[in-house]
Amino acid sequence: MEVSSILLAGQTPLRLMAVHAHPDDESSKGAATMARYVREGVEVLVATCTGGERGSILNPAMDRPDVLADIANIRAAEMDRAREILGVSQAWLGFVDSGLPEGDPLPDLPEGCFALVPTEEAAAPLVALIRSFRPHVITTYDEKGGYPHPDHIKTHDVSVVAFDAAGDPERYPGTGDPWQPSKLYFHMTFTRARLMAIHEALLTRGAESPYAEWLENWDDKEDNSTRVTTRVPCADWFETRDQALIAHATQVDPLGRWFSIPLDLQREIWPTEDYELVRSLVDSPIPEDDLFAGLRESVSA
């Protein structure tokens, strides 16, 4: 696919910030979108809220005591490799992973973790980063975090507060000159419509679907398919997305279901990554096929 520059002569580069909870989240949600925009000249910054210190080792090949003992440093190195693959910049917001509580009843969250930091306080470093980087567009998770991990929900809360506060000179004094992003999106990665389309395409080809049990137990009340406003064509970067995801070796089993669906089928059946536009200060008629719709001709420093 030939990539044409999105920039006009003398125009300021467009800037995209993706706010995520842990290292590896940036590679499983919106990675192909970011890779596409980087190749088109957009400046892309991933803001990672925590270091993933309490994450489990999900790749059996990496499930060793020495890895667990040094998990924070290893996950930072994995993030560096994924960042290089995607071509993005990346910044740590410095919070501590909350872990995913399990059990009945659920245990208390650990003291000092990201999820327990008051939202207004936790938004401060993100406001400072927004004011420094000056993104035109921000992406993050929906109000349920995409899935109910406490750090994902906190990331949503912090991102919404920071989006609204960054342009207000009365809020967060001392964190830089105000900057108001123009658009805020939520990832709509795992919609029933997308999973069903891929599932049925696999069955039609006589292949096994990794989504069968997931779809069988799907709660229709949880489906976000109707919330999608924006579908970004990025099929040519699905391989780059997968390479970045595999770079997170502690978190991703390269033999797992993430990689069991042929890329050619994915490109044919669902060649986009999908989003919900939830804030916009520009005119961008829905549906969209571009996170920068309404901005390309008007961006200025």
| 189-218: average pLDDT | 94
CATH number at residue 93: 3.40.50.10320
Over residues 109-117, mean pLDDT: 96
Amino acid 280: pLDDT: 97
Residue that is written with structure tokens 């920068």 in the block: 292
Average pLDDT (215-242) is: 93
- pLDDT of 1 reads 28
The dihedrals phi and psi of 185, each to the nearest 5 degrees, come to: -125, 150
Residue 50 counted as domain residue: yes
Q: Which helix (H) or strand (E) holds 267?
A: helix 263-269
What is the spatial distance between Cα 115 and Cα 20, in angstroms, rounded to a whole number?
Answer: 13
Residue 188, classified by CB atoms within 10 Å of its CB into exposed (0-12), middle (13-18) or buried (19+), is buried
pLDDT over threshold 60, residue 172: yes
Q: Is 277 exposed, middle or buried (0-12, 13-18, 19+ CB in 10 A)?
A: buried
Give residue 11's pLDDT: 58
Distance CA 201, CA 179 (A): 45
SS3 state of residue 255: coil
Residues 33 and 244 sit within 8 Å (Cβ to Cβ): no
The dihedrals phi and psi of 82, each to the nearest 5 degrees, come to -65, -40
The answer, yes or no, to whether residue 301 has pLDDT greater than 70, is no
Give the pLDDT band of residue 300 (cuts 50, 70, 90): low
- Give the whole-number percent of the chain exceeding pLDDT 70: 96
**Model pTM?**
0.93
pLDDT at 242: 97
In the predicted structure, residue 69 carries a pLDDT above the cut 50: yes
End-to-end CA distance of the chain: 30
Per-residue confidence (pLDDT) for residue 133, from 0 to 100? 98
Confidence of residue 156 (pLDDT cuts 50, 70, 90): very high
In a domain, 287, yes or no: no
Cα 17 to chain centroid distance, Å, stands at 10
The stretch 254-282 carries a mean pLDDT of 95
Is residue 258 in a domain? yes
In a domain, 217, yes or no: no
Residue 265 lies inside a defined structural domain of this protein: yes
ω into residue 287 within 30 of 0, thus cis?
Answer: yes
Q: How is residue 122 written in tokens?
A: 């936790």
Q: What is the pLDDT of residue 281?
A: 96
Question: For the chain, how many structural domains are there in total?
Answer: 1
How many Å apart are CA 208 and CA 275, to the nearest integer?
28
Query: What CA–CA distance (Å, rounded) separates 166 from 168?
Result: 6
Does a structural domain hold residue 205? no
In the numeric block, the tokens 């059990």 are attached to: 103
pLDDT band of residue 146 (cuts 50, 70, 90) is confident
pLDDT tops 60 at residue 9: no
| Average pLDDT of the residues in 234-249 | 98
- Among the residue ranges 8-22, 116-130, 250-264, the one predicted with the least confidence is 8-22
Mean pLDDT of the chain: 93
The predicted pLDDT at position 112 comes to 95
DSSP-assigned states of every residue in 169-206: TTSSTTS-S----SEEEEE--S-HHHHHHHHHHHHHTT
Buried b (16+ CB within 10 A) or exposed e, 282-300: eebeeebebbbbbbeeebe
The tokens for 228 are: 């999608």
Q: What is the extent of the structural domain holding 247?
A: 15-190+225-280
Strand partners, 48: 20, 92
Residue 248 region by backbone torsions, left for phi larger than 0, else alpha for psi between -120 and 50, else beta: beta
The helix (run of H) or strand (run of E) holding residue 47 is strand 43-50
With respect to residue 99, please indicate whether it lies within any of the assigned structural domains. Answer: yes
pLDDT at 8: 40
pLDDT of residue 219: 84
Question: Does some domain include residue 215?
Answer: no
Q: Is the pLDDT of residue 103 over 90?
A: no
Q: Report the pLDDT value the prediction gives residue 3, as an integer from 0 to 100.
A: 32
